[in-house]
Structure 1
């Protein structure tokens, strides 16, 4: 496994929806880190993709995320790979950077689906959440056992930058201060 490469990355934000938020343990922290990832992705030309689970029932993506014009895929299947056409949105050689709710359901099933189809997946530990901390930790261990790399927001940002000489270094570094 190599460093995360901004030129090969796709940021995938799973089900950061308003009606889920009150139930998620430490939701604010995960949401803050997802926002950092999304802002940095915009600065570094990393494409982003969002999903919404049953948006009619769970509502839209929370307004705190700077979504911009990133595409949003509505789904009924817990794993996004179960949504027809979803896999076509993921480039074959992409390093998929994953954040989202709920770690042990939609995030887990999406990650396992991506791994099954041969994608390199990085799960951002501090940008995922579940209702119960045990569910999140169990999901992280399972995803890692199946081949996902477990990373943090700062790891992703600094691997995307690679060097303090990067022209956007100061802007991206300011996101984590």
Structure 2
């Protein structure tokens, strides 16, 4: 199944200032999340973010926060009990997910979204955990549970569909 931009929402989980230095390759994860959110903006895909205990872990990284329509503060690891599903735009059943930590908040949220009937794509190169082994095991579990594991470039090109898309050059410039 292909992702469709007009049916997608981008969800960035806990890309927070105080958390990212502890994440393995955290700077790369932040960069990928910013690129994903920028591409989503170019293609009219809504971008939402979550923040785990922002009073303790700080807000989302500034550049991420600026690209989001809404940010949900939460205390559950899974964002759904804190109101995520109610924030998702109506009629958009595809949820593309990036963020941290892959094996805690991201996996629990993605599994709940699958249980709620959403189609979930996890952007592997835009996710991270403190320990890479935890991240890798979480990605395997997500795949076995029905989430599709993808990369940023896969998302970008599936959302555009063809090289004649009006944003093709702008998106291509972001990923080269």
* Alpha carbons of structure 1 residues 25 and 69: separation in structure 2 relative to 1, 3 Å: closer
Structure 2 length normalisation: TM-score? 0.96
| Distance (whole Å) between structure 2 residues aligned to residue 167 and residue 22 of structure 1 | 37
Say whether the 8 Å CA contact 2:94–2:120 is kept in structure 1: yes
| Distance (whole Å) between structure 2 residues aligned to residue 64 and residue 107 of structure 1 | 20
Where does residue 81 of structure 1 map in the other structure?
Answer: 80
* Alpha carbons of structure 1 residues 159 and 135: separation in structure 2 relative to 1, 3 Å: same
Say whether the 8 Å CA contact 2:48–2:69 is kept in structure 1: yes
Say whether the 8 Å CA contact 1:35–1:66 is kept in structure 2: no
Say whether the 8 Å CA contact 1:122–1:150 is kept in structure 2: yes
Question: How many residue pairs end up in the alignment?
Answer: 175
Deviation at 1:67, TM superposition (A): 2.4
Structure 1 length normalisation: TM-score? 0.95
| Distance (whole Å) between structure 2 residues aligned to residue 31 and residue 106 of structure 1 | 16
| Distance (whole Å) between structure 1 residues aligned to residue 64 and residue 115 of structure 2 | 29
Say whether the 8 Å CA contact 1:15–1:100 is kept in structure 2: yes
Unaligned runs of 5+ in 1: none
Deviation at 1:30, TM superposition (A): 1.2
Where does residue 159 of structure 2 map in the other structure?
Answer: 160
Q: Answer yes or no: is 1:107 the counterpart of 2:112.
A: no
Deviation at 1:82, TM superposition (A): 1.7
* Alpha carbons of structure 1 residues 105 and 69: separation in structure 2 relative to 1, 3 Å: closer
Say whether the 8 Å CA contact 2:9–2:92 is kept in structure 1: no
Structure 1 residue ranges (4+ consecutive) displaced by more than 3 angstroms after TM superposition:
none
CA RMSD of aligned residues (A): 1.2
Deviation at 1:86, TM superposition (A): 1.9
Alignment of 1:120-159 (within 5 A): 120-159=119-158
Task: Point out the structure with the larger helix share.
Answer: 2
| Distance (whole Å) between structure 2 residues aligned to residue 69 and residue 109 of structure 1 | 21
